[in-house]
């Protein structure tokens, strides 16, 4: 790209923000439905999935980099990672509305977007059965598709109930250690109030880590004393990945029941942790991996 082109791109993006901030503002607190839902920027993988499940994908003009399903969504412009957004990137697609998952960031960028003239609706995120249904209702209302949302919510509710019921009779629950990453040999694991904790519970497992919420680097002793039966990780590459051999050689993992049995499950991150329309299937698949033929259909 030439120097002139880069200057023009920066100038255009900056002008978009100035124009947005100079007009009357809308916030997620004042907008429950978009006046004009024709050009929506979707921030958050589960939000994009819900829009497609509602059959309203024709309204989308952009998505964030976590929106990898369905495959058709990849054809949309990518405005960046949902936790590292830039106002310029989001506003550059000229959306008529921004539909963003709670937890999008950074805070400074979200503050700018909320003060812009483009209506911004935040979709709440809780990692449980009801939280998924609420997402569907909020997205449907925002797009003026509440009837479709009610039908989808009812369908997803029934599937979730069936999936959760599969492990109701399991007496000996598996202890699961979810590892987000092992960069530099440091184990970053899930406590409570996370998507990993939520999916473990819904699939009939027990989070092996207690005493804190969110994700935290664990001391080796804390991993050993948690005594996980199974290690659960996202199936991904890059810096956050670790080979099985290296995992089970780790001094904190090796002496645990999971380490001794070389017991590990890897699942695609958006599917496992998305808490969207596919979560009932993810619960089923995780439960089968944990308990095999002990689950009930």
Domain boundary among 157, 184, 204: 157
**176 pairs with which residues across the strands?**
207, 230
Cα–Cα distance, 277 to 155 (Å, whole number): 9
Same domain, 45 and 146: yes
SS3 category, 176: strand
In a domain, 124, yes or no: yes
Cα–Cα distance, 21 to 19 (Å, whole number): 6
Which residues form the domain of 180?
175-294
Same domain, 252 and 108: no
Same domain, 98 and 196: no
Same domain, 148 and 282: no
In a domain, 168, yes or no: no
Residue whose C-alpha is closest to residue 296's, from 204, 206, 219: 204
Residue ranges of alpha helices (H) inside the chain are: 3-22, 45-53, 87-91, 107-115, 129-142, 146-165, 195-202, 220-226, 244-249, 257-261, 269-273, 279-291
Query: Position of tokens 């645990």?
Result: 256
Cα–Cα distance, 47 to 5 (Å, whole number): 33
Same domain, 147 and 228: no
Number of domains in the chain: 2
Query: Position of tokens 């530099």?
Result: 184
Domain boundary among 96, 127, 157: 157
Same domain, 182 and 219: yes
Same domain, 279 and 229: yes
Same domain, 39 and 113: yes
Show the tokens assigned to 213: 């919420």
Cα first-last separation, the chain: 57
CATH code of 201's domain = 3.40.50.1980
In a domain, 169, yes or no: no
Same domain, 125 and 194: no
Same domain, 287 and 217: yes
Cα–Cα distance, 21 to 3 (Å, whole number): 27
Mean pLDDT by 10 residues, the chain (297 residues): 42 47 39 91 98 98 98 98 97 98 98 96 98 98 98 98 97 97 93 98 98 96 98 77 90 98 96 98 98 89
In a domain, 287, yes or no: yes
In a domain, 165, yes or no: no
Beta strand pairing call for 187-190 and 175-181: antiparallel
Q: Is 27 exposed, middle or buried (0-12, 13-18, 19+ CB in 10 A)?
A: middle
In a domain, 46, yes or no: yes
Q: Are 295 and 164 in contact (CB under 8 A)?
A: no
CA distances from 39 to 47, 54, 194 (A): 15, 16, 31
Same domain, 25 and 76: yes
Same domain, 182 and 134: no
Q: Are 86 and 109 in contact (CB under 8 A)?
A: yes
| Stated pTM of the model | 0.88
In a domain, 240, yes or no: yes
In a domain, 57, yes or no: yes
**217 pairs with which residues across the strands?**
188
């Amino acid at each position: 790209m030439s120097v002139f082109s880069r200057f023009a791109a920066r100038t255009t993006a900056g002008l978009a923000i100035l124009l947005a901030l100079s007009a009357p503002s809308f916030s997620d607190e004042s907008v429950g439905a978009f006046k004009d839902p024709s050009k929506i920027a979707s921030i958050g993988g589960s939000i994009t999935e819900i829009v497609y499940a509602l059959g309203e994908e024709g309204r989308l003009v952009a998505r964030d980099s976590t929106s990898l399903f369905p495959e058709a969504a990849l054809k949309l412009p990518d405005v960046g990672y949902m936790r590292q957004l830039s106002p310029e990137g989001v506003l550059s697609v000229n959306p008529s509305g921004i539909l963003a998952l709670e937890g999008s960031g950074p805070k400074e960028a979200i503050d700018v977007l909320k003060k812009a003239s483009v209506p911004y609706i935040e979709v709440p995120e809780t990692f449980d059965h009801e939280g998924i249904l609420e997402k569907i209702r909020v997205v449907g209302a925002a797009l003026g598709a509440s009837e479709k949302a009610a039908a989808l919510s009812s369908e997803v509710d029934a599937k979730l109930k069936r999936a959760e019921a599969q492990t109701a009779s399991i007496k000996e629950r598996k202890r699961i250690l979810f590892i987000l990453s092992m960069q530099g040999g440091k184990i970053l694991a899930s406590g409570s109030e996370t998507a990993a904790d939520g999916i473990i519970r819904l699939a009939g497992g027990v989070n092996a880590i207690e005493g804190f919420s969110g994700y935290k680097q664990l001391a080796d002793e804390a991993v050993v004393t948690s005594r996980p039966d199974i290690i659960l990780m996202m199936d991904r590459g890059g810096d956050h990945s670790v080979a099985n051999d290296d995992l089970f050689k780790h001094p904190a993992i090796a002496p645990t029941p999971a380490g001794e049995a070389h017991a590990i499950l890897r699942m695609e991150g958006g599917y496992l942790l998305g808490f969207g329309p596919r979560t009932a299937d993810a619960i089923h698949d995780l439960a089968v991996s944990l308990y095999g033929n002990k689950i009930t259909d």
